[in-house]
A and B are shown apart, each in its own frame.
Chain A
Amino acid sequence: MSARLYFSRFLAALGLALACQLGLAEEARPLSDDPVTEQRLQAISAELRCLVCQNETIASSNADLAKDLRREIRGMIQAGQSDQQIIDFMVARYGDFVLYRPPFKATTLLLWGGPLIFLVLGIGALQFYLRRRNRVLQAARPLSGEEARRADALLTEPDPADSPLQGPFQGKDLQP
């Protein structure tokens, strides 16, 4: 480290001490001197699991391992490695378990595809059900006016709760 740097640091420290003495507010320094690095560190470590914790990210954990890994990731960022390189390094060391975003691979195919499959099956089943239901009711429908009147007469006591409700503005529960 050059003498000039030492000197400037000394001046800064002196200034800080003076500022404290005088009760002047000093803008606090970030934990690292480089906010861009910190931001990347935050983003990467929020996707990684702290392996000794119960279920915490490296970003939020206070465990020693998490602190070490944060330091290590910070070092790797400063050494110019890309996010992907850092994550690959972590996976090589700890396995997929460290990733909170599971990788796409054969064993996770169902995991990533599952929601879509559920959705397609769900909507498909819904369509199928609605159409079949309508067909069944349609098939049961063809009563002539005369038959319908007779059927009505046979239905002795209609359940009030089953009575067809009209549009939203005509429901019986609108009456005070």
Chain B
Amino acid sequence: MIPELGHFALILALLVSLAVGVLTLLGAHQNRGPWIALARPGAQAMAFLVTIAYLCLTQAFVANDFSVIYVAQHSNSLLPLQYRIAGVWGGHEGSLLLWMLMLTWWALLVSGFSRNLPAPMLARVLGTLCLVAFGFLLFILLTSNPFERVLPGVAEGRDLNPMLQDPGLVIHPPLLYMGYVGFSVAYAFAIAALLSGQLDAAWARWSRPWTLAAWVLLTLGIAMGSWWAYYELGWGGWWFWDPVENASLMPWLVGTALLHSLAVTEKRGSFKNWTVLLAISAFSLSLLGTFLVRSGVLTSVHAFATDPTRGIFILAFLVTVIGLSLALFVWRAPKVGLGGRFGLFSRESLLLTNNVLLVVAAGTVLLGTLYPLLIDALALGKISVGPPYFNAVFVPIMAPLVFLMGIGPFARWKHASLPEIARLLKWALGVAGVVAVTLPFMYGSWTPLVGLGLLLATWVALTVAINFVQRVQATRGSDSFLSAALRQPRHFWGMHLAHLGVAVFVVGITMVGGYQEEKDVKMAPGDTVTVSGNTFRFLGVKQVEGPNYTAWQGQVELLRDGRLDKRLHPEKRHYRSSMMPMTEAAIDAGLLRDVYVALGEPIDRDKPEAEWAVRVYYKPFVDWIWAGCGIMALGGLVAMLDRRYRTRRRRRNPANRPAGEAP
């Protein structure tokens, strides 16, 4: 009964989204007040219905209703409750429903935080979101219905993929989807601006906090996924250039470009067309990512689905969305003005360079991801494009970008002076150079890549500090430095935090790339192994029972100066229902290094209490990778809370509220 209720709610949501989408857009076009006024309640109704459907599916998981095919495929009565709740998005149908849920919640948020938006604008934004939602609801109902039943139900479910039975799964996909789907709001604002012809600084200001919010969540989602892969897959890597990872990286790169471009559009009224194009691209890439992951065209660790009808539907949807958006763009863009003047070397031109590099980087990832599919489709053979390729082409694009990041904040709008900046920053560059040349020797050998990484990281950190101090000093008057620093606008804090996050991130990837060490050893009880000064003693394994698995748990001691420092318990699990073995690494995390132990296999399968193959890693600064992402996201959050996004309501008093807006 309850799954049918969910199914029904989904059908109603489909009808509501179509009706509201069409009526509000038409209403805004013909300036019909009542139709425009539908936008807010319409979006709310859609969010309500999809939430009901989502809760119904969750209930089916919690209650172990194995007559629902999707539940039977992705759950099991032995599965702990938290994974039954998270299992809702453990497969194709449910993750689409989660996608949908996020989309409608974004629409709900827009309808709630848009009191200062003119009513026709809001109608266009929400109308666009409703139409996107319609497309996805149609997709779910036609090809990926999670509520389908098999009667009579099966006795036991097939279980959730053990790889996904981890706290990481509880957080990673919702965060990632929140970010992914969040770009739909930036997209909807761009479409609304094109439809209305009001492509101005006000539009950029409305759109900016939403874009920041999506970017923050996407950053956290990607970092979370990377961290999850690091500790769960047992390979000790943090990024594999898997197509599914690339699918989330591309919107992130374009989204980052969009943030910077929006800054110019808001402050200087320039690059409007370009900003709109980026907003369209960011969301299109999110859709493309969904297509790649969900259509099964890829073979990767994340691809659960292989059904061509789904692929064709999303492809058609993708082509429709991108095609219509670009057509609209081509129609409207020529009427948009150029904005203010600026010199060839200025804050504007540097931000435009940032945009070009980010878009080239995204294009490169896209090329590398799609190329094997293309070659395969053209019957030119099968190739693999993996980490060696991406590392080779990505670093040369990102290195100049990170370098320019140090200069950008010093450049003035309109016209900047290169000699002035050079004079100011030559010491920073010198210090960064010295660090890059000397520091690696403390860790052993010097390699060009480590030198470059440390150069860039130091450079960014120093320029951030100089810029920050300089500005605080210039505005401080007779106040203390601290109070003057705290008085700086939040967008200024946000920018520097985010840039500092990049520096921290670069330190992490550089040090891990340059100095990580791993050893594959045979260990009998009592044996020790040492990597980079960290000694492990293996005491043997013992059998432990989990809720739905049995495991060999390694008893490993981490020694410091010959004395016990920490006990580590890597596991080799065997899940009962799927019989899949899973490696659970044990990690001792630290500020300057992680050490990481993973159990391989017993050397002699009949004698698991004897020798084991054990893999140990030493990972210097690896946590800086995720800490850097966290700081970037924090920067985005701080910038999002900037005063000027909040005081709009007070400044725009009701007297000059645009006509037609509901009171």
Chain A contact residues, CB within 8 Å of chain B: 16, 19-20, 23-31, 38, 42, 47, 49, 54-57, 60, 62, 95-102, 107-108, 110-112, 114-115, 118-119, 122-123, 125-126, 129-131, 133-134, 136-137, 159, 161-162, 164-169, 173-174, 176
A145 to B246, CA, bound (A): 55
CB contact under 8 A between A126 and B352, given known A20-B524, A29-B521, A174-B475: yes
Q: CB-nearest residue of chain A relative to B615?
A: A31
Q: CB-nearest residue of chain A relative to B559?
A: A25
CB contact under 8 A between A47 and B388, given known A122-B360, A123-B356: yes
Q: Besides the contacts A56-B301, A100-B389, what 20 more A-B pairs have beta carbons closer than 8 Å?
A: A26-B526, A27-B527, A28-B524, A30-B521, A31-B522, A42-B518, A55-B300, A55-B301, A97-B381, A100-B388, A101-B392, A102-B385, A111-B389, A118-B364, A126-B352, A161-B200, A165-B267, A165-B413, A173-B491, A174-B475
CB-CB under 8 A from B474, the residues of chain A are 169
CB-CB under 8 A from A31, the residues of chain B are 520-522, 613
CB-CB under 8 A from A19, the residues of chain B are 526
Rounded to whole Å, the gap between the CB of B85 and the closest CB of chain A is 26
Q: CB-nearest residue of chain A relative to B233?
A: A60
Q: Are B266 and A161 in contact (CB under 8 A)?
A: yes
CB-CB under 8 A from A176, the residues of chain B are 487
Q: Are A25 and B300 in contact (CB under 8 A)?
A: no
A19 to B527, CA, bound (A): 9
Q: Are A102 and B412 in contact (CB under 8 A)?
A: no
Rounded to whole Å, the gap between the CB of A90 and the closest CB of chain B is 12
Q: Are A54 and B301 in contact (CB under 8 A)?
A: yes
Q: Are B383 and A29 in contact (CB under 8 A)?
A: no
CB-CB under 8 A from A28, the residues of chain B are 521-524, 527-529, 538, 614
Tell me how many residue pairs across A and B have CB atoms closer than 8 Å: 185
* B168 interface residue (CB < 8 Å to A): no
Q: Are B520 and A159 in contact (CB under 8 A)?
A: no
Q: CB-nearest residue of chain A relative to B529?
A: A28
Q: Are B384 and A161 in contact (CB under 8 A)?
A: no
A107 to B652, CA, bound (A): 59
CB-CB under 8 A from B267, the residues of chain A are 161, 165
* B211 interface residue (CB < 8 Å to A): no
Q: List 9 A-B contacts (CB under 8 A).
A: A20-B526, A25-B528, A30-B521, A30-B522, A95-B381, A161-B202, A162-B269, A165-B413, A173-B491
CB-CB under 8 A from B519, the residues of chain A are 30
Q: CB-nearest residue of chain B relative to A16?
A: B524
Q: Which one, B47-55, B130-138, B367-375, is touching chain A?
A: B367-375
CB-CB under 8 A from A30, the residues of chain B are 519-522
Q: Are A107 and B205 in contact (CB under 8 A)?
A: no
CB contact between A118 and one of B360, B381, B410, B643 (< 8 Å): that residue: B360
CB-CB under 8 A from A42, the residues of chain B are 518
CB contact under 8 A between A96 and B383, given known A29-B521, A161-B202: yes
A129 to B270, CA, bound (A): 13
Interface of B is mostly: mixed
Q: Are B489 and A174 in contact (CB under 8 A)?
A: yes
A122 to B520, CA, bound (A): 45
A131 to B343, CA, bound (A): 10
CB-CB under 8 A from B384, the residues of chain A are 49, 96-100, 102
CB-CB under 8 A from B528, the residues of chain A are 25-28
CB-CB under 8 A from A130, the residues of chain B are 344, 349, 352
Q: CB-nearest residue of chain B relative to A60?
A: B235
Chain B contact residues, CB within 8 Å of chain A: 200-202, 205, 233, 235, 237, 240, 242-243, 266-269, 299-301, 303, 338, 340-341, 344, 347, 349, 352-353, 356-357, 359-360, 363-364, 367-368, 371, 375, 380-389, 392-393, 396-397, 409-410, 412-414, 471, 474-475, 487, 489, 491, 518-530, 537-538, 581, 583, 600-601, 613-614, 643-644
CB-CB under 8 A from A173, the residues of chain B are 489, 491, 643-644
Rounded to whole Å, the gap between the CB of A108 and the closest CB of chain B is 7
CB contact between A102 and one of B347, B383, B489 (< 8 Å): that residue: B383
CB-CB under 8 A from B303, the residues of chain A are 54
Q: Are B356 and A122 in contact (CB under 8 A)?
A: yes
A112 to B388, CA, bound (A): 12
Q: CB-nearest residue of chain A relative to B411?
A: A168
CB contact between B382 and one of A54, A95, A112, A123 (< 8 Å): that residue: A95
Q: CB-nearest residue of chain B relative to A27?
A: B528
A157 to B523, CA, bound (A): 79
CB-CB under 8 A from B600, the residues of chain A are 62
CB-CB under 8 A from A167, the residues of chain B are 412-413
CB contact under 8 A between A101 and B397, given known A114-B367, A165-B267, A169-B474: no
CB-CB under 8 A from B243, the residues of chain A are 55
Q: CB-nearest residue of chain B relative to A42?
A: B518
Q: Are A111 and B367 in contact (CB under 8 A)?
A: yes
A129 to B356, CA, bound (A): 12
Q: Are A159 and B201 in contact (CB under 8 A)?
A: yes
A130 to B356, CA, bound (A): 13
Q: Are A118 and B386 in contact (CB under 8 A)?
A: no
Q: CB-nearest residue of chain B relative to A55?
A: B300
Rounded to whole Å, the gap between the CB of B210 and the closest CB of chain A is 17
CB-CB under 8 A from A111, the residues of chain B are 367-368, 371, 385, 389
Rounded to whole Å, the gap between the CB of A168 and the closest CB of chain B is 6
A119 to B471, CA, bound (A): 34
Q: CB-nearest residue of chain A relative to B370?
A: A111
CB contact under 8 A between A38 and B380, given known A55-B299, A100-B388, A114-B364: no
A131 to B646, CA, bound (A): 38
- Leading 8 A-B pairs by shortest Cβ distance: A100-B386, A161-B201, A101-B388, A60-B235, A28-B527, A28-B521, A55-B300, A97-B382
Q: Are A27 and B397 in contact (CB under 8 A)?
A: no
Q: CB-nearest residue of chain A relative to B527?
A: A28
Rounded to whole Å, the gap between the CB of B298 and the closest CB of chain A is 8
A20 to B383, CA, bound (A): 50
A28 to B614, CA, bound (A): 10
CB-CB under 8 A from A165, the residues of chain B are 267-268, 413
Rounded to whole Å, the gap between the CB of A104 and the closest CB of chain B is 11
Q: Are A169 and B475 in contact (CB under 8 A)?
A: yes
CB-CB under 8 A from A137, the residues of chain B are 338, 341
A95 to B375, CA, bound (A): 14
Rounded to whole Å, the gap between the CB of B418 and the closest CB of chain A is 15
Q: Are A159 and B526 in contact (CB under 8 A)?
A: no
Q: CB-nearest residue of chain A relative to B491?
A: A173
A38 to B383, CA, bound (A): 27
Q: Are B383 and A115 in contact (CB under 8 A)?
A: no
CB-CB under 8 A from B613, the residues of chain A are 31
Q: Are B412 and A108 in contact (CB under 8 A)?
A: no
A23 to B530, CA, bound (A): 18
A137 to B371, CA, bound (A): 41
Q: Are B375 and A107 in contact (CB under 8 A)?
A: yes
Q: Are B389 and A107 in contact (CB under 8 A)?
A: no
A97 to B202, CA, bound (A): 51
Q: Are B471 and A169 in contact (CB under 8 A)?
A: yes
CB contact under 8 A between A102 and B409, given known A126-B353, A159-B201, A169-B475: no
CB-CB under 8 A from A169, the residues of chain B are 471, 474-475
CB contact between B527 and one of A26, A38, A102, A122 (< 8 Å): that residue: A26
A56 to B202, CA, bound (A): 48
CB-CB under 8 A from A100, the residues of chain B are 384-389
